[in-house]
Amino acid sequence: MFDAVIIGSGAAGGAVAFVLAKAGYKVALLEKGRWMKREDFSKDEIAYCRRDIVTPNLFREFHTIEEKRDGRWIPKTTYELGWSFWNGNIVGGSSNLMSGMFHRMHPDDFKLLERYGPIEGANIVDWPITYEDLEPYYDMAEALVGVSGTFKKHPFAPPKKDKRYFQPPTSENGINRLFDEKCHKLGITPLVTPRAILSHPTKDRDACSYSGFCGSYGCSSGAKGSSREAFINPALVTGNLTIFSNTFVKRVVKTSKKRIGYVETVETDSMRPGKIHAKIFIVAAQAHESVRLLLNSADQDYPYGLANSSGELGKNLIFSAGGWGEGDLDRKTLSSKMIDALMEPGLFMNRSILDWYMVEIEGKIVKGGLVEFMFGHQNFIRKASMSKYGKNGKLLWGKELEKKLRYRLQESRRIRFEVFNDWLPTDNCHITIDKTHKDIYGTPVGKLRINAHPHDMKVARKIATNAEKILKSMGARSIVKNISSTPPQNLIAGGCRFGDDPSSSVLNRYCQSHDIPNLFVVDASFMPTGGSVPYTWTIYANALRVADYIVQKLHI
């Protein structure tokens, strides 16, 4: 019998495991994927980006996606679409593979309805907590994860009592000087992006080695502040944490109307079934998978999903709206000195723009978003593959192909921006279970209906148009941008909305089930709105807050 079972070892699960283990609780951390340590990671593009060695085979485990076509919702499996909604199924979860761009939510993000008013067709509600409630846990996460950066005062920067970050920023590519210069001429304030990457070594982790391969890859130096590095490894030192890797959780099972008693598991290699008992249960499997687990755990007391007396389980799924743009910098517009700086490998282009966190749309001031500027991905195979076509879709060969490859790999670099703005919750963006399809464990798969509110696209287009001006001012060529209602599958939230009213929320303000007191859900599924920044720092902070509540208030 464990004090606590945590399902999922990513950002939320690892943070809770750390706090409980440090407090002396006996904790079982369950992870469907394998346990990869620092020395197991490589920069193998074929393995990580083309063969997806850290996510399940889509013919064994998959989802069903519903997208609207000609007025009808059409379901297709992800193995048909070739579109994976798995994100790093290994110990530490997708936090192993993140780029580590860390931002706090703005105080307005917690009170979107109060601050900006209702929007027709959107199910906006304010958070039951405020920025001030989460601020000390943002601070705690910054120190434990190891966030590097430089603070600069900005009208839309969230409050930060300590104007320093845990460490100074990572080393930068010289192109940042040109970026800053052009931004200032445009009246835009460039900010150094805070990163969950160490610029200096600590007792247990090395500094960044500047390989240039962060996003999509595990970190071999330990510099990246993944759940595994920042929380799980230190928790193991206490002797109170037991990791069950290669363990899939099929169901969460009650032993009385108001109490979970155990989880039913399957070992993914042997397919051997099992049960693990505990006093409290913390679900942190990533938003859509946490919802699926609770729906598949329905019983006679909760026939529509465990802890779902409100009927809200699975509703108001959200992603991150926005899109991207990019362009090439080369010697046709840059000086030789700047070209030499640009082509220096490894060093970061590390800039964010907050100027458009509020924007004007159709004569009204509305919530805007964040823009991240960075180099295009280093993946050489991808770069080569994208170079094989010329104008009019002609397949290049011989000298023509060689010329384009040299340009793409040796004579230019792609500057990319990504827009993050709110994905407003709607009735037509949710997750249910697909009773016609089951995974290899015999469990009904999740069915995700995806729908973006038109307002999100208006905001994203406005921000992207502004961001494009920076690329043009830098002399970027072949600029393209894409604002799409197709969401990034690595930024999923909602489905277990928290709130003070049990009739309209699944969880209370401490992410504890309104129905079942020894059940918590701590991944991004608790979020009623997502803000206009990547979620990871907020997930870490909230998980630390919930774990603190468990230690202080629950007697287990």
User: How far is Cα 524 from Cα 287, in angstroms, rounded to an integer?
Assistant: 6
Question: What pLDDT does 315 receive?
Answer: 98
Question: What pLDDT does 36 receive?
Answer: 96
Kindly state the average pLDDT of the residues 477-495. Answer: 92
Amino acid at 210: Y
* 287 contacts 294 by C-beta, under 8 angstroms: no
Closest CA to 461 of 319, 321, 317, 318: 321
Please identify which residue in the block is written with the tokens 């629950």: 554
Strand order in the sheet with 477-483: 190-192, 351-353, 369-375, 412-422, 320-330, 477-483
Q: Is residue 289 part of a domain?
A: yes
Amino acid at 218: G
CATH (domain of 108): 3.50.50.60
Q: Assign 26 to helix, strand or coil.
A: coil
Question: What pLDDT does 317 receive?
Answer: 98
Question: What pLDDT does 263 receive?
Answer: 98
Q: Is residue 483 part of a domain?
A: yes
Residue 483 has pLDDT above 80, yes or no: yes
Please identify which residue in the block is written with the tokens 């001429």: 185
Kindly state the average pLDDT of the residues 256-268. Answer: 97
Residue 196 has pLDDT above 70, yes or no: yes
Kindly state the average pLDDT of the residues 376-395. Answer: 87
User: How far is Cα 141 from Cα 194, in angstroms, rounded to an integer?
Assistant: 13
Q: Is residue 208 part of a domain?
A: yes
User: How far is Cα 102 from Cα 147, in angstroms, rounded to an integer?
Assistant: 8
Strand partners, 433: 446
Residue 1 has pLDDT above 70, yes or no: yes
* 13 contacts 228 by C-beta, under 8 angstroms: no
| Token pair of 34 as six digits | 């394998």
Question: What pLDDT does 555 receive?
Answer: 66
User: How far is Cα 394 from Cα 232, in angstroms, rounded to an integer?
Assistant: 50
Kindly state the average pLDDT of the residues 64-81. Answer: 92
User: How far is Cα 402 from Cα 481, in angstroms, rounded to an integer?
Assistant: 26
Q: Is residue 39 part of a domain?
A: no
Closest CA to 492 of 459, 435, 530, 522: 530
The DSSP element (H or E) to which 226 belongs, if any, is none
**Average pLDDT over the chain, rounded to whole?**
95
Give the torsion sign (CA, 258, 439, 215, 488). negative
Q: Tally the C-alpha atoms within 13 A of residue 120's C-alpha that lie toward its C-beta.
A: 0
Strand partners, 360: 365
Q: Is residue 249 part of a domain?
A: yes
Residue 488 has pLDDT above 90, yes or no: no
Distance (Å) of CA 34 to CA 30, 54, 246, 515: 10, 8, 5, 33
User: If you write DSSP's letter for every residue of 470-494 in order, what string do you get?
Assistant: HHHHHT-EEEEEEE-SSPPTT--B-
Range of the domain at 305: 2-34+54-60+84-553
Kindly state the average pLDDT of the residues 103-115. Answer: 97
User: How far is Cα 357 from Cα 371, in angstroms, rounded to an integer?
Assistant: 9
Determine how β-strand 273-283 pairs with β-strand 2-7.
Answer: parallel
User: How far is Cα 89 from Cα 245, in angstroms, rounded to an integer?
Assistant: 10
Q: Assign 190 to helix, strand or coil.
A: strand
Please identify which residue in the block is written with the tokens 């206490």: 238
Share of the chain above pLDDT 70, in %: 100
Kindly state the average pLDDT of the residues 383-397. Answer: 86
Question: 10 Å Cβ neighbour count for 181?
Answer: 13
Which residues, including other chains, have CB under 8 Å from residue 391's CB and lie 6 or more apart? none
Amino acid at 46: I
User: How far is Cα 533 from Cα 148, in angstroms, rounded to an integer?
Assistant: 17
Residue 344 has pLDDT above 80, yes or no: yes
Kindly state the average pLDDT of the residues 125-147. Answer: 98
Residue 556 has pLDDT above 80, yes or no: no
Kindly state the average pLDDT of the residues 367-375. Answer: 97
Question: What pLDDT does 486 receive?
Answer: 87
Q: Is residue 45 part of a domain?
A: no
Q: Is residue 67 part of a domain?
A: no
Residue 512 has pLDDT above 90, yes or no: yes
Residue 491 has pLDDT above 70, yes or no: yes
* 6 contacts 29 by C-beta, under 8 angstroms: yes
User: How far is Cα 279 from Cα 256, in angstroms, rounded to an integer?
Assistant: 13
Number of domains the chain contains? 1
Q: Is residue 72 part of a domain?
A: no
User: If you write DSSP's letter for every residue of 287-352 in order, what string do you get?
Assistant: HHHHHHHHHHT--SS-TTSTT-TTS-TT-S-B-EEEEEEEEEEETTTS-HHHHHHHT-SSPBP-EE
